[in-house]
Copies of this chain bind each other. A is one copy, B any other.
Amino acid sequence: MATVGGSPDTRPLTRPELRAWRGMLRSNAALAKALDGRLEAAHGLQLSSYEVLMYLADAEDERMRMCDLASSILLSRSGLTRLVDRLQREGLLERVACSDDARGAFAKLTPAGRQKLRAATATHLEGVRAMFLDLFTPEELDRLGDAWDRVLDHAGWGCCK
């Protein structure tokens, strides 16, 4: 029926394959849009802004190099520059010069930023749990985690990005 020949698998996706693949795309889109919308509505904060504040809060001394921050939140360096610009303008973080590398710059959380993050975190975590985590048992979450590790590892993102 299908094209015969041993080339790298190009058959159309089977139903289960389609379900697994397209479901992931749609779920991700739905979750991202919903969570971003909630955060925006409740605190006037973009999801990407939230991620910046969150990584900063987790970092030592609440500060990170622009470069590391960019790769943490999966953004280009130029994109991060502008994002940090906006957050600085809102007073949620500040730029701090780097003493041992005059090229470098830190983004550092301000008290206002810390407070904003606390409020936003409640909203965000509540959403993540309600729309995602709570739908699965701990065992299922582990399975999912394994799956992602497999994907990221195979894509070469576990190590170099």
A: which residues have CB within 8 A of B?
Answer: 8-13, 16-17, 19-21, 23-31, 34, 74, 121-122, 125-126, 128-136, 138, 140-145, 147-152, 154-155, 157, 161
- This chain: copies in complex: 2
Contact A23 B145 (CB under 8 A): yes
Give Cα A142 to B17, complex, Å: 8
Whole-angstrom distance between the Cβ of A124 and the nearest chain B Cβ: 9
Main secondary structure of the interface of A (DSSP, over half): helix
Contact B121 A21 (CB under 8 A): no
Contact A20 B154 (CB under 8 A): no
Give Cα A19 to B141, complex, Å: 8
Contact B9 A141 (CB under 8 A): no
Contact B23 A133 (CB under 8 A): no
Whole-angstrom distance between the Cβ of A70 and the nearest chain B Cβ: 13
Residues of B within 8 A of A147 (CB): 23, 27, 135-136, 140, 144
